[in-house]
Amino acid sequence: MATYVTGDIHGCLSIGKLAPDCWQEGQTLRRCDYLLILGDFGLVWDNPPQYRERYFLSWLNEQPWTTLFIDGNHENHDLLDSFEVSTWHGGKVHRVPGYENLIHLMRGQLFDMAHDGLWFTMGGARTRDADWRQPGVGWWPRELPSDEEYEEACANLDRVGWSVDYVITHEVPRHLRHAAMPDWYCEEYDPADRLSRFLDELDERIDKQRLKRWYCGHYHSDLQLGDEQHVMLFNQILPMGELPHPSR
């Protein structure tokens, strides 16, 4: 079994990187192999789904691998929340109805992936231009985790002593945002929210001796965030555990 990881696809906007002529390795995979998308999946948006969304959901569902994704801020969170919850590899998931090979890894969950070890997932992020978006159409308040999701996350982490092999998030810990946005980050205009504070706490408490990688998306770059554990991805599609290639 193999797992690959990549950044946001934003529905049909950046899904082209998964096409066979861009990612030839994908066509060598099997259903027991995984592609993990680090949030802003964006193909759970219209309710009911329109033609373009149905087309790309079907295309992705028919690829030889199984697609896993966490949620970012650009999702229809109300629609995601309406899906049936089931258990998969020990954690809670949503399977996209009608597309059995597309699996949403829910927030605050632990997944025992055997060949890839133990994953902790925490989707969500704050939309910076929410004031210019229509609630329930282009932006959903559920983009940030609920009290119950934080409580479940901490309870799950307590159960394993805050020791996992991989952390999978959309947002980066707040103290690493300057590394994620080196050209335009300004702390004065970056108010902390509960999620960024939680990710900072997680980064302080996580067992760094065991942690192989912390993968995140959101900022549309392929970077190591100051060390070899924290990795941000967008365009590149990497085998789980690998570091991004230098920008060309």
The set of residues, in sequence order, having a beta carbon less than 8 Å from that of 235 and lying 6+ positions away, is: 6, 7, 14, 17, 222
Residue 156: per-residue pLDDT: 98
Query: How much is the average pLDDT of 212-240?
Result: 95
Neighbours of 49 (CB within 10 A): 20
Q: What is the CA angle 131-137-141, rounded to 5?
A: 60
pLDDT bracket for residue 234 (50, 70, 90): very high
**What's the number of CA atoms in the CB half-sphere (13 Å) around residue 132?**
3
The set of residues, in sequence order, having a beta carbon less than 8 Å from that of 188 and lying 6+ positions away, is: none
CA distances (Å), 198 to each of 102, 127, 151, 194, 218, in order?
A: 28, 17, 11, 6, 17
Q: Report pLDDT digits (tens) over 94-127.
A: 999 999 999 999 999 999 998 899 999 999 998 8
Q: Report pLDDT digits (tens) over 48-107.
A: 888 899 999 999 999 999 999 999 999 999 999 999 999 999 999 999 999 999 999 999
Residue 170 to residue 187: CA distance in whole angstroms: 19
| pTM of this structure | 0.95
Residue 140: per-residue pLDDT: 86
Domains of the chain: 3-239 (3.60.21)
Query: How would you classify residue 10: left for phi > 0, otherwise alpha for psi between -120 and 50, otherwise beta?
Result: left
